[in-house]
Each structure stands twice: as structure tokens, then as C-alpha cells.
Amino acid sequence: MTERLYYDNAYLWEFDAAVTRLREGKKQGTWEIALDRSAFYPTSGGQPFDTGRLVFAGGEAKVTGVEADREGEVWHMLDREIPEGTAVRGLIDGARRTDHMEQHGGEHMLAGAIWEKLRGTTIGLHLGQEDSTIDVELPGERTHMTEDEIRMLEDTVNARIRLDAPIRCWFPDAAELEKLPLRKPPTVKEHVRIVAMGDFEMVACGGTHPSSTGRIGLLKILSVIPAKGKARVSFVCGNRAAALFQKYMRCADKAGAALSCPVDKLSRTASELKSRLAEAERKANRFETKELLDKFRKAEIPEDLKGIAIAAVVTDETDARAVSAAVSEYIASPGKLLLLAAGERLTFARSADVKIDMSELIRRVGRGGGRPDMAGGAGIPECVTVARKILKTEMK
Ligand SMILES: [Zn+2]
């Protein structure tokens, strides 16, 4: 069983140990070793493993993964072999671990506040690349939180972070454990490790935590969405929260400069612009539709085919909504047949009383399909001339 050095000191980035076991890794050319003692954190409780290096007399190996087995042995995945009995110096990627401790520590504070203020029970932690999530069971099977609740939770946690209260981890004996006011019952029966953060959070946890709440830095909730009947809360802490604030400020400043307005007026300015744009588009569309309709009517040859008026029209590429509106209006009158090429887009359509299959016709001259009364597809402008010739020849 590996002695876990991070239990006593979560900031131990360097340590000496000896290789107790060696085995081949799951992937070819990789190796796994167990150490008699290790400060490398193995993936558990939602917190990912540490990475780093093992330096020894024969060189050094990269630690690419860490896992603990049921017997309590901590296995280090390596890119090279280190023989059993070798003395090694472990070097941990402290920046990665500090980030994990900030997120994990913040999760405790948030879960504690959710329990205290909303009587919500937190189930599981997922510490992701971008943000972390917890699933919360709220009273009354509620799967959301109000804006005020979210803000209250953030304010509560951040005030407690600023208090810089000590975070303490220890293994109590059975008698002491029984008396501790834990947020929820421990999931393990033996060697229960307790983490206490000031007097506002106490729960069983085997993970690594900052030494005081101040080192969590800052907590920001990003969203609360329903997931599997619970409220899924995603959040960031520490340096991630600071980096996100910088990113959002940059985006907001750029957007403000682009719209020539202060950041706090961004959303109102954007909504106003959006509705003005929609109105302008509606106007432009009405104009385009009218122009197209005029084109159809000008091109129309009355009584071209057994009492049917055919309009064969070739035009530049045009807004699809304007085409659709103009075509619908044109074929609303009886006895019309339209062969339209707008750029490379073909539209063949006819009035309800004209019994010619437009979908079949479009397939004979280009690519496409649709309904018997209206079909769309792609082809060159000459398709229109060819289609008219087919109609004239075959329907004489
Ligand atoms: Zn923990």
C-alpha cells in the first residue's frame, strides 16, 4: 500500500521514494510502477490525476496518468520503464495541481453554501478542462435556481473565501467521527478523512485542498441547468475565474467599441440594432420580391402552351426568401408556369390548375426535386430554355 504524502501536505511538489512494483502498461511501450510513498494524486472523487516526472539514476520518466487500485496501491503510468527497487525523485506539475485544488476547494465551499442556504444535496463533482459541474438535488425536485439565489450563493462563498479561514484535513477516530457535524454521511466506513473549511463546511473527502479558503481566490457560477432531474451547476474558481473575467472584459470592451456604447448599455443597444436590422431586411425583401414579380410578368408569354402562360426567367442570384415570396404570389393566379434560374438555383413552379409535374421536369434538365407544383434544384441558366423546349415539344 502506497503512503500518500499529499494527505499531510497538499503543496508537496517534490519527494523521494522507491519503486516497489513494475508492470507493462495497457498501451504498448508504456509502463506502470507503484511507489512505496507518493505525492502524486490518483484520479478520484471527480478530481483528475497529477502529472509530472520521476527522476532516477538512469534518467527520467514522464508521469502521464495516476490511478489507485483497490488495495490502496498508487500506480504511475510512465513513458519508460524503471526497475523495481530504484530510488526516484518525484516532481509534480504544481500549476496543474494548484488549479485542481482551487476548483475542488471551491466546490466544497459551494456545496456547503447550497446545503446551508437552499437545503440542496450535492452529488458528485466533475472537474473539466474548462469548468466544473456539480449536480444538486433541491427540495421539491426543483431543477433550476433564480438569479437572486445564484448571486446569493456567489456572495456567500466569496465572502468566506475572503475571510481566509484555515482548511484542515485529518483522520478522526470512531468516537470523534460520530460527533462531527458533517454535511452528509461518509461513503466509506474505514479510514474516513475529514476536511473542514473554517466553520462553514465539514465533510468526508480524500482529495487535495488548499491550506486556507483565501487560496481558492474567487468563485463564479456560470450556469444552472436541469440535468437528470437535478440542477446542474457549473462554476469556475481561482485563476480560471480570473482568466474568464479577463476574457469576458476583453469581449465586452470590443463589443462596446464596435457598437459605440458603454458596456452596461450593450444588451439594450444590441437589441435595438437587431430590430432595426430586421425591419430594414423586411423592407429590402419586399422591394426585391416586387422586382422579381415584375420580371416574371414581363417575361410571361400568354397562351404559350395550351392556354398556359409560361414565364422563363434567368436572373442573378437573389435572396431565397424574396424568390419564395415572389414565386408563391406569381403562381397564385391560375394558368401560370414559371421556369426560373436565379444564379445556379432553379425553381420550377406552376398554378394549381396546371397539371404538369415540376419535380419530374427539373430532374430532366438539372439536379433537384420537390412537389409536383413546385420544385427546386441546381443547374445552369440554359436549363430554363431546355425545359421550355421539352414542354413545347412533348405537349403539342
Ligand atoms: Zn475535498
d(C-alpha 100, C-alpha 132), whole Å: 10
Claim: this prediction has a pTM higher than 0.85: no
Residues with Cβ < 8 Å from 132, sequence gap 6 or more? 46, 103, 106, 107, 125, 126, 234, 235, 236, 237
Please tell me the distance between residue 169's alpha carbon and the centre of ligand 1 in angstroms: 9
d(C-alpha 284, C-alpha 247), whole Å: 37
> How does pLDDT run along the chain (396 residues), one tens digit per residue?
999 999 999 999 999 999 999 999 988 889 999 999 999 999 998 899 999 999 999 899 999 999 999 999 999 999 999 999 999 999 999 999 999 999 999 999 999 999 999 999 998 889 999 999 999 999 999 999 999 999 999 999 999 999 999 999 999 999 999 999 999 999 888 889 999 999 999 999 999 999 999 999 999 999 999 999 999 999 999 999 999 999 999 999 999 999 999 999 999 999 999 999 999 999 999 999 999 999 999 999 988 888 899 999 999 988 899 999 999 999 999 999 999 999 999 999 999 999 999 999 999 998 999 999 999 999 999 999 999 999 989 876
Cell of 75: 500506480
- pLDDT at site 74: 97
Please tell me the distance between residue 33's alpha carbon and the centre of ligand 1 in angstroms: 26
- pLDDT at site 361: 95
- pLDDT at site 45: 84
> Which residue type, as a one-letter code, is found at position 34?
A
> How is 122-156 classified by DSSP, letter by letter?
EEEEEE-SS-EEEEEE-GGG-----HHHHHHHHHH
Please tell me the distance between residue 173's alpha carbon and the centre of ligand 1 in angstroms: 19
- For the segment 365-392, what is each residue's pLDDT rounded down to a tens digit? 989 999 999 999 999 999 999 999 999 8
Please tell me the distance between residue 11's alpha carbon and the centre of ligand 1 in angstroms: 15
- Ion ligand 1 neighbours, Cβ < 5 Å: 205, 207
- Of 292, 374, 380, 379, which is closest to residue 337 (Cα–Cα)? 374
Please tell me the distance between residue 149's alpha carbon and the centre of ligand 1 in angstroms: 24
Residues with Cβ < 8 Å from 144, sequence gap 6 or more? 224, 225, 226, 231
- pLDDT at site 396: 66
- 89, 15 in Cβ contact below 8 A? yes
Please tell me the distance between residue 47's alpha carbon and the centre of ligand 1 in angstroms: 9
- For the segment 332-370, what is each residue's pLDDT rounded down to a tens digit? 999 999 999 999 999 999 999 999 999 999 999 989 999
Residues with Cβ < 8 Å from 156, sequence gap 6 or more? 113, 116, 117
Please tell me the distance between residue 105's alpha carbon and the centre of ligand 1 in angstroms: 6
CA distances from 301 to 23, 313, 314, 395 (A): 86, 11, 15, 16
Question: Dihedrals φ, ψ of 193, to 5°?
Answer: -105, 135
d(C-alpha 62, C-alpha 50), whole Å: 11
Please tell me the distance between residue 387's alpha carbon and the centre of ligand 1 in angstroms: 74
Pairing of strands 3-4, 37-38: parallel
